[in-house]
Structure 1
Amino acid sequence: MKPSRDTALTALLENLPEAIYGVDLDFRITFMNRFARQVWRGEEQDFLGQPVQRVLPNLTPEGFLAFLGKALAAADRVETKVFSETAQAWFHVSAYPHTGGLFLHARQSADRKAPENNNPRYDALTGCLMRPAFLEAIREAPRPAVLAVLDLNHLKTINDVHGHMGGDAHIRATAESLREAFPDALRARWGGDEFVLLVPGHRAAPVADRLKQLRVTPTSVVSASQALSAPVFEFGVALLPTPATPFEQAFAVADDALHHAKQAQRHQAAGDQDSFAIGAFSRYLETLETPDDVVRGSLDRLLDLLNFDIGFYDTVGDAPGAAPVVVARGDAAGTGPLRGPEPAAGLTLQALQLQQSVSATDYPAEPYAVPEAVAAGIKSVGLTPVRAAGHTVGVLGLATVNRWRTVTPQVKQLLELASLRLGHALHLKRVVGEVRSNLEAGLLGLGVALEARDLETHGHTQRVAELAVRVGQALHLSDSELDWLRDGAYLHDIGKLLIPDAILLKPGRLTPQEWQTMQTHATRGLELASRIPALAPQVLEIVAHHHERWDGGGYPAGLRGEQIPLLARVFSVCDVYDALVSERPYKAPWSRADARAEIERQAGKQFCPVVVTAFLAAVS
């Protein structure tokens, strides 16, 4: 039974620096601590309900399951030492009885010497080869051959209804039906409810046809279990044409077909866990806003969740979208997008033509494989097109390097979720951009009208806005801050609408009282701009404070130093510079060199020194 998350025991087990597993009375996983999840590169929900053999694979000696049975009946800790063929290492396994099951503590031994002549070749329950013996036997098995991977559908239900004796009888009956149907095949019990066959022959279809008959022929135990609706097992097959064909390659292809069969039946207990994983990923995607964040964030999460080596986003043609990205793990770092020299080729082209997710568990064997990708060691690929506003703008994909990995329906579902989120983010960005463009056009028109009334040099507003953005970029401001700079530049003198023409257009020097009235354009501009809907507070700060001075001698509030909002400091430098280099009715234009020198002299006096440094870099 899985312990309560509120108990001190669970907290202790969760944080131990060694692998801890919880199993129920059927030896199925109910708990994995953080260290165990890191070892298997997955979340706990990916393993819940699975046979314990999934995380303790290829353990010998033969009596390991008997050891677990003994541990259930024990009053205290029971220990054994087992050898893992997969890890080629010995492990100490301690079993602690717990209400409703066991806790298993697995820790690797310093002894790495393989046992001599004590590895069992045959599974005691079924008479099939055990996995290590099967892997050894296939090295000498004739080719061509057909590989079949099978997964029983009902074992947990049968155990619940008939007990472990009934479950064992079902497993034995299935193994016997396989022996009778394929007397010349190598047969292995791959796990608690999995079998693997290697059948001599060069055609997969007859093997598949025979398995289709067996899967709908219930054993006596299944017949007695009236609630079962799915077949006895699901399967996938693949051809091993020559001795040079890697077993892992064929296994991945057969396992891929098995997963698709299981998905079609929608019967496996892992389905609820898959839904949980998909829901969690969907909730994570909702936290990502910009297209680039969606691309990078989704690929990072998918690589961690699904154990692929490469995640990539590639644009299609000149369609607007997020920037192309390749995220790689381990030895795959540096591998580029899976494309050839054409604009769209290989699996990408197929996805674009079909407008749906596509995959290749054995990518090098596909006729459309891109040579550059094959040469880079790509073995398995899944990808999906990305659409925004009715147009295909790119493809999202996952790939493995130098190893085969089944591209399951769940992989495609998760890719499609990321694709939908990316398409939504791109559409939203386009809509916001259009709104932004319309708003900016209106503000620019207002700014041009203001400069005409104020007898400003034509184009002053646009030039100052563009220069302010360049200085802002030199200061590494965000996109939002750059937008606010533009808006502030367009509206900075809106308060002059309320200044009488006699003062605003006076050709000579203003009297002290007139100058006092002129200075009110900053605060009166703030009052006017505040009535424009949706203007950011940072824009209003530019309108209100673009005449403040670093030394405190400015207006309207006499702010000094960093009391002055940063965007107002940036704008004031650009505004003064453009005024200096522009011709006005009352002065000739300065040279650019003289204007830059004057700005530099005013650093620490009229202007912020940091902004001046960025300004000089931007106009050099």
Structure 2
Amino acid sequence: MTEADGRPGGHGAEPGRAKPSREAALSALLEHLPEAVYGVDLNFRITFMNRFARQVWRGEAHDFIGQPVQRVLPNLTPEGFLAFLNGALAASDRVETKVFSETAQAWFHVMAFPHAEGLLLHARQSAALEPPESNHPRYDALTGCLMRAAFLDSLGRIPRPAVLAVLDLNHLKTLNEAHGHMGGDAHIRAAADTLREAFPDALIARWGGDEFVLLTAGERAEPVAAHLEQLRWPTATPRPTSLPAGTPVFEFGVALLPTPATPFEQAFAVADDALHQAKQAQRHLAAGDQDSFAVGAFSRYLETLETPEEVVQGSLARLLDLLDFDLGFFEVVGAAAGAGHVVVREGTGGGPVQTPELPVGLTRRALQLQQSVSATDYPARPDAEPGAVAAGVKSVGLTPVRADGHTVGVLGLATLHRWRTVTPQVRQLLELAGLRLGHALHLRRVVAEVRANLEAGLLGLGVALEARDLETHGHTQRVALLALKVGRALRLSETELDWLRDGAYLHDIGKLLIPDAVLLKPGRLTPEEWQTMQTHATRGRELASRIPALSPQVLDIVAYHHERWDGAGYPAGLSGEEIPLLARVFAVCDVYDALVSERPYKRPWSEADALAEIERQAGKQFCPAVVAGFLEAVS
């Protein structure tokens, strides 16, 4: 590989691979340009958005491709905007203009470069200038409805109480594929005309590609909902022949703004939540490729999380980023207040956020129904916790978590100081995380049971070995507990501690193969008998290896716990760090317990004398680092 570009060959293109086209090279260059660049076709629909533009609008390419360019460029009146674009198409060279964006409160310099298939538009913020003294109302060029910014500016024109409706056209993508974008545009215009005719005094905005928002005076939401229910069926609205049979033209949700003090964002979130529920009920929840991808990607991510702690922390942290919530939590059923695991990230206030009281009433409902529940407007619930409301909780989604046939807790997401629609996709992703958590908790229980059964068997075997070797009663259990204390002082992992405990139980299993005449001899062993005794380490490893599921690390403890740091031990004469760490740890604990225990051939040492002997042997018989950890553990 060359140092210049990291590709094989070093010079020129790879054999058999064509050089990239000028168009591909240009697209790659524009993709990384640190300013917004858009491509549009001859109908002024978006064909390209570079990375900077997508970051500005917080979306992916598929969210914008095919949409009118008015959706992303600074607001202009339809006449002025279309005149600029048509003039650019007719020009032989680039044309430029300056426009003021009320959304960004800034001036933008827009350049249009004509080509055979449309325009390339480059937008960058201009130097600071004063905002224009007045702006004409801005309308969507396709439908004549207000654009979003103009709609928000005009909210005061409708007296309170008022009813807000959020509408979403069904199967617009299907219409575009069947009849082209011209057919889709005709459908959008027909829907706008129907709404204007039905609600002549309302504010109506085209909110997005196939979304409309309507605000009309009224004390009750039901009459508006009933009118919209009539309009959404083919008998009241012209119906394109390509729509599936029995499909309403649009879905909607409504909410009441009872007073001027009611935040628009609150009512919008409630209406949007009702819209998503309606889409789900009609089986028209068009999640789209991106939503399906998000679910699949999240499922694959969950598969990488193993322990319950990893699932709680990892899944909630990922969901907070993926779904734009502020707080994620796992509350254990029956736990004391504050015992739930809470994941906190930066909130809208700019600092760490904590809610002193989790939504107990909503949690209780999720447990009673044994299904996911949500509250887009949590403070309006009669069972809302005052502490949570005071902390700014606005929208909440919860799902119960079950393991081994029992409900063990709830996973939840919440927003703070802002409303957010808890969509069916939010509930679906929460449920996936809950299923993974329940599975992890089930595995932990099963592993713990297997672990306990294995420990009981190994401990029983160790106790049997004690009896045959005439060692002090309780040696195996004591040395195992001491080894765990030293292991924790040395910051060993939980898995390493399990290995250390198993090795402690089996460390002298090889003595089962030593003849009684040697093992039980009361006096000093002859050189030949000592050689026979030393074989218990190697023969113990061979015997222990026949026990299923014992790890190599456990077998190393059995084989090497009589090795010495200075190389004078047995059976292999290993020295220093050649000796496996767990065997070094156990060796210190084994010798210390032998020193302080009474045996048929000696009296017990005092703890002080035994500790002093262990310290003297650091760097000789024992690993110095292990001795330091041992002294820390027993001090």
Matched, 1:479 2:500: no
1:178 and 2:231 correspond = no
Asked if the contact 2:508–2:536 (Cα under 8 Å) also holds between the matched residues in 1, the reply is yes
Instruction: Note if 1:595 corresponds to 2:610.
Output: yes
- Contact map agreement 2:355 2:387 (CA 8 A) in 1: no
Superposed CA deviations along residues 282-328 of structure 1, whole A, max 9, x for unmatched, are 11111111111111111121111111111111211259xx9713232
Distance in 2 separating the partners of 1:76 and 1:478: 68
* Cα distance between partner residues in 2 of 1:30 and 1:450: 78
For residue 14 of structure 2, what is the aligned residue in structure 1? none
1:425 to 414, 437, 440: 440
Identical aligned residues as a percent: 77
Residues 308-319 of structure 1 mapped to structure 2, 5 A cutoff:
308-317=325-334
SS at match of 2:363: helix
- TM-score, reference length from structure 1: 0.89
One-letter amino acid of the structure 2 residue matched with residue 222 of structure 1: R
Q: Which stretch shows the higher mean deviation, 434-443 or 187-196?
A: 187-196
Cα displacement (A) at 1:168 = 3.7
Which residues of 2 match residues 137-156 of structure 1 at below 5 A?
137-156=154-173
**Aligned counterpart for 2:470 among listed residues 447, 450, 455:** 455
Change (3 A) 1:226 1:144: closer
Change (3 A) 1:324 1:537: same
Q: 1:568: Cα distance to partner?
A: 0.9
How many residue pairs match? The answer is: 611
Cα offset for 1:608? 1.4
Distance change >3 Å, CA 150–CA 57, structure 1 → 2: farther
Q: Which residue of 1 aligns with 2:293?
A: 276
Q: CA deviation at 1:406?
A: 0.8
Relative to structure 1, is the Cα distance of residues 465 and 136 closer, same or farther in structure 2, using a 3 angstrom cutoff?
Answer: same
3-state SS of paired residue (1:217): coil
How far the C-alpha of 1:398 sits from its partner, in A, is 0.9
Q: CA deviation at 1:367?
A: 1.1
Kindly provide the amino acid, as one letter, of the partner of residue 85 in structure 1. Answer: E
The structure 1 residue matched to 2:279, chosen from 243, 262, 270, is: 262
Task: Give the structure 1 partner of residue 422 of structure 2.
Answer: 407
Shift of 1:82: 4.2
1:502 positional shift: 1.4
Q: Secondary structure at the residue paired with 1:175?
A: helix
SS in 2 for 1:60: coil
The aligned residue for residue 90 of structure 1 is 107
Deviation at 1:127, TM superposition (A): 3.5
1:383 corresponding residue in structure 2? 398
Residue aligned with 2:548, SS: coil
- Is 1:529 matched with 2:529? no
Relative to structure 1, the CA distance from residue 249 to residue 355 in structure 2 (aligned partners, 3 Å threshold; closer, same or farther) is same
Q: In the superposition, relative to structure 1, how do residues 94 and 160 fare at CA in structure 2: closer, same or farther (>3 Å)?
A: farther
SS state at 2:107 partner: strand
1:60 to 55, 62, 76: 76
Alignment of structure 1 residues 23-422 onto 2, 5 Å: 35=52, 39=56, 47=63, 51=67, 56=72, 59-62=75-78, 63-64=80-81, 81-93=98-110, 106-111=123-128, 113-217=130-234, 222-225=239-242, 230-267=247-284, 270-317=287-334, 324-330=341-347, 331=349, 334-336=352-354, 339=357, 345-422=360-437
Checking the alignment, whether the CA contact within 8 Å between 2:231 and 2:237 is kept in structure 1 is no
Aligned partners of 1:53 and 1:192 also within 8 Å:
no
Q: Say if 1:66 and 1:519 are closer, same or farther in 2 by CA, change over 3 A.
A: farther
- The answer to which structure, 1 or 2, has the higher relative contact order (CA under 8 A, 6+ apart) is 1
**Post-superposition CA distance 1:259-284 (Å, at most 9, x none):** 22223344465433322211111111
Q: Please, which runs of 5 or more residues in structure 1 have no aligned partner? A: none
Q: 1:487 to 1:39 in 2, by over 3 A?
A: farther
TM-score w.r.t. structure 2 length? 0.87
What is the alpha-carbon root mean square deviation over aligned residues?
A: 3.2
What amino acid does structure 1 have at the position aligned with 2:575?
Answer: R
| Equivalent residue number for residue 585 of structure 2 | 570
From 463, 481, 499, the equivalent of 1:466 is 481
Question: What is the deviation of 1:336?
Answer: 3.7
C-alpha contact 1:338 1:370 (8 A) present in aligned 2: no
Residue 566 of structure 1 and its aligned partner are, at CA, apart by: 1.0
C-alpha distance in 2 between matches for 1:27 and 1:391:
57
**1:220 and 1:329, CA in 2 relative to 1: closer, same or farther beyond 3 A?**
same
Call closer, same or farther: CA 1:307–1:55 in 2, change over 3 Å. Answer: farther
Question: Alpha-carbon deviation of 1:211?
Answer: 0.4
How far the C-alpha of 1:482 sits from its partner, in A, is: 0.8
